[in-house]
Structure 1
C-alpha cells in the first residue's frame, strides 16, 4: 500500500470512528446531548480534528442518515419484480424495510423520532415530485404502475399512493418502537395485516 492509499485508509478509519461515536451518543444520550466536544472526548481526539472532517454535528447527522438510506436502497435493489405479481415485490420490500428498521430501532428513534437540526431535507417525502428524488418512493411508483398496466391494480395516483404506503409503514414502525412490550407474535400479526391491507387497497375495486 502506497503513502496516498495509507493516508486515505487512515482518514476513512477516523471518519468511521467519529460516526460510530456520534451514533452511540445519539442512541444512549439523545440528540440534545450530542456535541463535537463529546464526540472528541469519546474517541480521544481534539475537537479540531473532527472539524477537519465535519463542519458541525448536523453534517455528521446527515452522513449517518445518508448511510442508512444507502442500506435501504440496497434492500430495495435486491428485490426482484415479477411483472405478473408486483404485489409480491411490494410486500417483500416493505417487510424487509420494517425488519431492517426494527433491528436498528434505537438509531431510528434517535434520528427520525426527534426534531433534529439539519435533517429535514434528508427525510422529507410528502412534497410533490418526491418520486424523482427518493428511491423508496420512485421504486414503489414503478411497482404500482406495473400492477396497473397488467390489470392487477386499480388506477391510482402513483406518487400519492406510494407516499401513503410509506408513511403508513413509518407509522406502524414508530408504534412498534414506542410500545416496547408488544409480544413478537402480535408484532408479526400487525406487520402481516398491514402488508395485506396495503395490497387489498391496491387490488380492490379495480375499474
Structure 2
C-alpha cells in the first residue's frame, strides 16, 4: 500500500471512529449531551482533529442519521417483492422494520423520534411530493401502485396511501417502544391486528 492509499485509509478510519462515537453518545445520552469536545475526549483526539473532518456538531448528526436511516431502509428493501400479492410484501417489509427497531429502540428514538431540525429535514414524511425525494417511501408507493394495477387494491391516491401506511406503523412502533411493560403476547396481538386492519383497508 502506497503513502497516499495509507493516508486515505487512516482518514476513513478516523472519520468512522468519530461517527460511531457520536452515534453512541446520541443513543446513550441524547442530542443535548453531544458535543465536539465529548467526542474528542472519548476517542482521545483533539477537537481540532474533528473539525478537520466535520464543520460542526450538526453535520456530524446529519451523517449519523443518514447511516441509521440507511440501515432501516436496507432492512425493508431486502424483502423480496411478491408481484402477485403486494400486500404480503408490504406486511413483511413493515414487520421487519418493527422487529429491527424493537431490537434497537434507542436508534429509533435518535433517528425517527427527534425534533432536531437537521434530523427532521432527513426523515419528514408528510409533505406533498415526498415520494420524489424520500427513498424510504418510494418502495411503499411502488407496492401500492402494483396492487392497484393488479386490481387487488382499491383505486386510491398512491402517495397519500403510502404516507398513512408508514405513519400508522410508525405510531404503533412508537407506543410499543415507549410502553415497555407490554407483554410479548399482547405486543404480537397488536402488531397482527394492525396489519389486519391496514391490509383490509387496501384490498377491494
For the superposition of Structure 1 and Structure 2, which TM-score range results when normalised by the shorter chain? over 0.9
Partner deviation per Cα, 1:127-170 (whole Å, 9 max, x = no partner) = 11111111221111111111111111101100001001101111
Q: Which runs of 5+ in 2 are unaligned?
A: none
Contact 2:18 2:43 in 1 (8 A): yes
Q: Which residue of 1 aligns with 2:202?
A: 202
Where do 4+ consecutive residues of structure 1 move more than 3 Å? none
Q: Secondary structure at the match of 1:119?
A: helix
Q: Which residue of 2 aligns with 1:167?
A: 167
How far the C-alpha of 1:33 sits from its partner, in A, is: 0.9
Contact 1:26 1:34 in 2 (8 A): yes
Note if 1:176 corresponds to 2:169: no
* Distance in structure 1 (CA, Å) of the matches to 2:69 and 2:27: 18
Q: Across the two proteins, how many residue pairs are aligned to each other?
A: 204
Give the stretch that moved more between structures: 139-148 or 115-124: 115-124
Contact 1:58 1:117 in 2 (8 A): no
Q: Which residue of 1 aligns with 2:72?
A: 72
Q: Which residue of 1 aligns with 2:127?
A: 127
* Distance in structure 2 (CA, Å) of the matches to 1:71 and 1:120: 17
- Which structure has more relative contact order (CA 8 Å, sep 6+)? It is 1
Q: Which residue of 2 aligns with 1:11?
A: 11
Q: Which residue of 2 aligns with 1:103?
A: 103
Partner deviation per Cα, 1:38-85 (whole Å, 9 max, x = no partner) = 111111111111111111111111111111222223223322222211
* Distance in structure 2 (CA, Å) of the matches to 1:111 and 1:149: 34
Q: Which residue of 1 aligns with 2:115?
A: 115
Q: Please provide the CA RMSD for this pair.
A: 1.4
Q: Secondary structure at the match of 1:9?
A: helix
Q: 1:27 to 1:74 in 2, by over 3 A?
A: closer
Contact 2:114 2:120 in 1 (8 A): no
Contact 2:176 2:182 in 1 (8 A): yes
* Distance in structure 1 (CA, Å) of the matches to 2:137 and 2:30: 29
After TM superposition, the score normalised by the length of structure 2 is: 0.94
Note if 1:46 corresponds to 2:43: no
* Distance in structure 2 (CA, Å) of the matches to 1:71 and 1:129: 23
* Distance in structure 1 (CA, Å) of the matches to 2:26 and 2:72: 20
Q: 1:193 to 1:159 in 2, by over 3 A?
A: same
